[in-house]
Structure formats: structure tokens, C-alpha cells
Amino acid sequence: MSTAFRSRPPRMAIALVTLAAIVMLTPMLWVMILSFKNNAALMADTSSAFSPPWTLANYRSILGEGQVFTWLMNSVVVSLAMTAGVLLLASLAGYGFARLEFPGRRLLFVVVLFGLAIPEQAVIIGRHQMFSAASLHNTYAALVLPGLAMPFGVFLMTQYFRAIPREIDEAALLDGASRLRIFWRILLPLTLPAQATLGIFTFFHAWNDYWWPLISATDRDMLTLTVGIAATQMNFAQTEGLGFLMAQAVFAGLPTLLVYLAFQKYIVRAVAGAAGQ
């Protein structure tokens, strides 16, 4: 990262920001230590979390109880399928809009751009009725298909294909390569950075999606991890297993945090790109 200020910011500012960062992390650490405590001890007094004994019992019950694992697998399947689908559709469409000529191309692209301004709330009721009519609720198709329509991917890929010099395809055309071959063998590999950005953005979007899976997946075995954790939270007031609930929170939060740590650069770029469109 190149930087405007060569000199360090004032000490006071650094101290304040460091303090704020510690405050930011405190809720996560609190939940983490609660998850290592015996449920009965927490019922008596949660401040017992600060002192031993700690236990792995809550995590053992997660592994023993199949449901959370089913939800985890659902989230993995749905997120990967949506990511693969968005990458494929957005790359094809991006290439088509950026490079090929066909009647109505400009108008179609403008219509897709307008899609960026349509919030989920405006389509979710009609979509729910369509899936009801097709008896598709509680299937993977219902959880994946709506996410494929996200116009952001097409927008991003079109921009990216446009930025690739036309001389590259023209040289290949002269060599007798087909449109499909130019797309697949020559241009697509050049878009890998955009694919990574879009792929990671879509994965997180799918993993954290809440409203649509909440109304579409009503069968407990079809819940995603996000909706499943939300559902267990609903009877929060009656819960006697505070430690177990917290272990679930850690278990649900950890996958995204680990992916974040591994792909930090791409994730930050993807999120900033999606917002700045």
C-alpha cells in the first residue's frame, strides 16, 4: 500500500485507535470464553467464565449432534454452487456485452444495470410465490437460483473485459480461432483477478444471506448455517445451554473469519468494489 503520509500519525491518535480495536475484539473474545464453560456454571454466574475450569464439552456436543453439521454442509453446497454459477454466467455475459455485437445489446445492458437498483425487498414476495407455485421450496435450487441474478457480477465482468486490449482477440481471430475459443482459452485466463474478487464476494453473500433462506427453507434439514443459528437463537430466553449456544456462534463464525484471514486482500477489494459501483 503506497501511502500519502510518510510520517506516523500522532501518538494520541494511534493510542485511541488501538484502544478502539481492543474494544472491537472484546465481544468476540467474551463469546469465545463463554463457549468453553460448562452450561450449569454459566447458569449460576456468567462471570465464572473468567476463571477455570474450562471444558470442550460444548464443542463435543456440536460434533455429536448432527443438525449443525447438516446446516454447515448445506451452507457449503449452496455457497459453492452459487459462486460457480455466478462466475460462469457473469463471465459469459460480460464477454458478450463487452465484445460482441448483436441487436439490442446496449438496451439490454442498461436494463441489467437498472437491476442494480432493485432491492431484494421489492422482488422477494413475487419470488416466494413463484417458488411455491413450482413446489421448489426446501430444495438447493431454491437457495441457489435467486443469487445467480445478481447484476453486480455482470457489471464487474463487463468492465473487466472492456479493459482488455482488443488487439488480443483480433490477432486470435486472424489465426482462425472461434469466438468461444477466444473467450475460453485466451480472454478468460486474463480475467482471473476479477474472477477471484467476484467469487469471494459471492461466496460471502451466499453464506451470510438471511431473508430469502429464512422464508424459503422451512424444513429443518434444509436450513443454511446462518438461518439455523438464527433459529436456535429464537428460543434464547428458554435456553439452559448458554455455553452450547456460544459454541455454535463460534462454530458458525469461524469459517468466514478463516476465509477472511486467508483472502483478506481480495475480500476487502470485493466489498469496496461492490459498494462503490
Partner 1 sequence: MTTRSSALRGSGTWNRWSGALFVAPYVAIFVLMLVIPLCIGIRLSMTRSDLFGIKEFVGLENFSRLFGDPVFLQAVWNTFYFVLLTVPVLTVTGLALALVLNHQSRWAAVLRAMFFASTVLSVAVVTLIWRLVLIPEGGLVAVLARVVGKAPVAFLGEQALAMPSIAVTTIWWGIGLPMVLFLAALQQVPRDLYEAAALDNASRARMLMSITLPSIRRTVVLVVIVEIILQFQLFGQAQLMTGGGPNNSTRPMVLFIYETGWKQWQLGYAAAAAQVLFAMIAIAAMAQYYFSSRKNAP
Smallest distance from partner 1 to CB 165, Å: 19
* Residue 241 found at the interface with partner 1 (CB under 8 A): no
* Residue 87 found at the interface with partner 1 (CB under 8 A): no
Please tell me the distance from the alpha carbon of residue 15 to that of residue 213, in angstroms, as a whole number.
42
What are the CA-CA distances from residue 112 to residues 8, 92, 97, 152 (Å)? 45, 14, 11, 9
Picking from 273, 274, 272, 247, the residue whose alpha carbon sits closest to that of residue 56 is 247
Half-sphere exposure (CA, 13 Å, Cβ side) for 93? 21
Type of residue found at 131: F
CB nearer to partner 1: pick between 121 and 135? 121
CB 146 within 8 Å of CB 127: yes
CB nearer to partner 1: pick between 57 and 249? 249
Smallest distance from partner 1 to CB 274, Å: 10
Picking from 153, 154, 136, the residue whose alpha carbon sits closest to that of residue 145 is 136
Q: Judged by CB under 8 A, which of 40, 178, 192, 219 binds partner 1?
A: 178
* Residue 222 found at the interface with partner 1 (CB under 8 A): no
CB 157 within 8 Å of CB 194: yes
* Residue 14 found at the interface with partner 1 (CB under 8 A): yes
* Residue 107 found at the interface with partner 1 (CB under 8 A): no
Residues within window 50-69 making contact with partner 1, judged by CB under 8 A: none
Q: Judged by CB under 8 A, which of 39, 202, 246, 266 binds partner 1?
A: 246
Smallest distance from partner 1 to CB 221, Å: 18
Q: Tell me the three cell numbers of residue 7.
A: 510520517
What torsion do the CA atoms of 41, 44, 45, 48 make, to the nearest 10 degrees?
-20
Smallest distance from partner 1 to CB 56, Å: 19
* Residue 106 found at the interface with partner 1 (CB under 8 A): no
CB nearer to partner 1: pick between 2 and 135? 2
CB nearer to partner 1: pick between 84 and 123? 123
* Residue 172 found at the interface with partner 1 (CB under 8 A): no
Candidate ranges 51-59, 61-69, 125-133, 189-197; the one touching partner 1 (CB under 8 A): 125-133
Please tell me the distance from the alpha carbon of residue 59 to that of residue 252, in angstroms, as a whole number.
12
Smallest distance from partner 1 to CB 63, Å: 19
Type of residue found at 248: Q
- Whether cis (ω within 30° of 0) applies to the bond prior to 103 is no
